[in-house]
Structure formats: C-alpha cells, structure tokens
C-alpha cells in the first residue's frame, strides 16, 4: 500500500500520529523504523506529533510475547508506541486513551462493551482501559512504585523529588517555584545512575494539598509535552505521599487540560479525554522522498 491511512489525535493536547494497522501488514517493523517515526513526528516536514501509535493486534508484534508474557492471549490489541525520536516507549496514559478511542471510532470495538474495560498490550505490560460513562476514557495504570529520591536541574535550579515507576521512570518534584516560569526548552540534567535509561521529569505546584496540583513535564525522547498521563500519575502519587497518604483522588492540571488520578496502594486509575482531530492518507510523494 503506497498511501497508508493515518489519523491525528490527542489526549489533553499530548498529540500522536495514529497508524491503523490491525493485521500488521501496512507498517511492519522494517517500514516503521526510527527514521520513519521521526519523519512522521516532524512538525515542519511531517505531520507533527509527540509520538506514534500503531493500532495492531498483539499477534503481529514481534516483541509482544516477551513484554506481555502470560498476558499475551488476553490482549487482542497492542499499543505499539514510539517516541518522537523513534525510540520505543513502555506506556503512555494519554496515548492509550486515544488508542481505545480509535478502536471505537474505527469500528474495531463497540464503546458500550468497553465500559467495564478491555485489556490492551503495551511494552509496560497489559493495561485495562475503558470508556467512562460521562465521556472520555479511563485506564488502570497499575501501581506507582517508588524506588528512591533524586534531583533534576532546570535553568540552574535543583529540584529534588521522588523516583517513581509507572512502567516507565519518573522524577516527580514538588516545588514552590511557579512552574509556569521555568524554561523547559532544554532537557533537565539528572542522576544517570538512578535513571540509566533516562527519565520523565515532573515539576509540580500544589494547589490544594492531596487534592489538586499543577504540572509541567519534560518527557525523555520528546521534550516538554502539553500533557503526560504516566507523569500525571507519578505526580499525583508524589503529592499524596507528601501528605503521608497512600490513596486519594487528585485533580491534575496540565498545559493541555485537566486529568483525574485515583491512587490506591494497589493501582492508579487515570481518567481524561481523547480526541481524533483528522484522518487522511500519506502521499506517495512524501513517502518516496
């Protein structure tokens, strides 16, 4: 196929090029390489996005068995997620909500059957995602796992925070510095010993302790994004932990909108919107360039 179909969508303005490829024939690994992902995400010469989501059945993903293990048979669909730099990403809360929305709008799943949730494969393991009754989508992100403390430097300032895994690594730092005043045009420096594979850095203002926070995120492999679902979860966990609480629901305001995160000792549930903006085809002229 010389003119494959593409979608553009976002979750709280964390935006993605979405590639419908149910049978794994349009975008096999040899075609969707790192260079192609970078071209698709280029905001001047491509479509422009924070990342790429390939909508594909798990059986057509070469590494699905390795990352899903015993969960492979339960996950018909796999969110093949790439960062804008072409690297694979383990998990994305905004992306997986958009992923389910595309499955629904493409007629691959019925929305009413999704309210109880369906399992979707990711490189961070199986994740249950569902349609929220009042609109939008929720995703069970799994438990937040704290694995130390660290610091990031932004614009000459040091911000200390909690190292939190949401299937991918985060440094969640609460600060009294207005996050809107910070320059995130360059990657923060961090402890590579604690984060050997890089880290997403969350800078957090508390609006109401344990209830409401504001957040900006620098994502590894992408740069600053308008929103980050796993980052919102890590930030909500850190905000509750700062109040010596292990559970609660936190409203998280990001530059791209508002999310809700419910934290319990056993798991974390993220709820928010997902929107498809446009659908079309890639031109042969661009593909062949």
Nearest to 79 by CA among 274, 283, 282, 288: 274
Question: How many CA atoms does the CB half-sphere of 262 hold within 13 Å?
Answer: 8
Place of tokens 């009754």: 133
Q: What DSSP string runs through the chain?
A: --S-EEEEEEETTEEEEEEE-TTS-SS-TTTS-HHHHHHHH-TTTS---SEEEEEEEGGG-TTHHHHHGGGGGG-SEEEEEEETTS-B-S--HHHHHHHHHHHHHTTSS-GGGGTT-EEEE-TT--EEEEE-TTSSEEEE----EEEEEEEEEETTEEEEEEEEESSSEEEEEE-SS-GGG---SSPPEE-TTT-TT--EEEEEEEEETTTEEEEEEEETTTEEES--HHHHHHHHHHHHHTTT-S-EEEEEEETTEEEEEEE-SS-EEEEE--EEEEEEE--HHHHT-
Q: Which residues are catalytic?
A: 92, 228
The C-alpha atoms of residue 30 and residue 285 are separated, in whole angstroms, by 20
Nearest to 181 by CA among 209, 203, 148: 203
Judge whether 1 and 26 are in contact, CB under 8 Å: yes
């Amino acid at each position: 196929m010389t003119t494959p179909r593409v979608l553009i969508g976002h979750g709280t303005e964390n935006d993605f090029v979405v590639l419908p490829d149910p049978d794994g024939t349009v975008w096999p690994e040899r075609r969707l390489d790192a260079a192609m992902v970078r071209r698709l995400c280029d905001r001047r010469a491509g479509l422009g996005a924070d990342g790429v989501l390939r909508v594909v059945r798990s059986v057509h993903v070469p590494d699905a068995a390795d990352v899903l293990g015993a969960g492979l048979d339960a996950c018909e669909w796999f969110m093949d997620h790439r960062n804008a730099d072409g690297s694979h990403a383990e998990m994305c809360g905004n992306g997986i909500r958009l992923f389910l929305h595309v499955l629904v709008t493409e007629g691959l799943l019925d929305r009413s059957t999704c309210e109880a949730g369906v399992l979707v494969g990711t490189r961070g393991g199986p994740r249950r995602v569902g349609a929220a009754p009042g609109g939008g989508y929720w995703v069970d992100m799994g438990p937040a796992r704290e694995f130390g403390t660290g610091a990031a430097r932004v614009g000459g300032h040091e911000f200390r925070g909690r190292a939190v895994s949401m299937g991918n690594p985060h440094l969640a730092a609460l600060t009294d510095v207005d996050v809107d005043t910070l320059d995130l045009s360059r990657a923060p420096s961090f402890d590579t010993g604690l984060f050997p594979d890089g880290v997403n850095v969350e800078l957090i203002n508390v609006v109401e302790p344990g209830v409401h926070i504001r957040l900006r995120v620098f994502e590894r492999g992408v740069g600053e994004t308008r929103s980050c679902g796993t980052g919102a979860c890590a930030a909500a966990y850190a905000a509750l932990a700062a109040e010596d609480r292990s559970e609660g629901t936190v409203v998280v305001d990001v530059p791209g909108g508002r999310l809700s995160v419910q934290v319990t000792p056993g798991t974390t549930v993220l709820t928010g919107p997902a929107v498809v903006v446009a659908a079309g085809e890639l031109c042969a002229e661009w593909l062949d360039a």
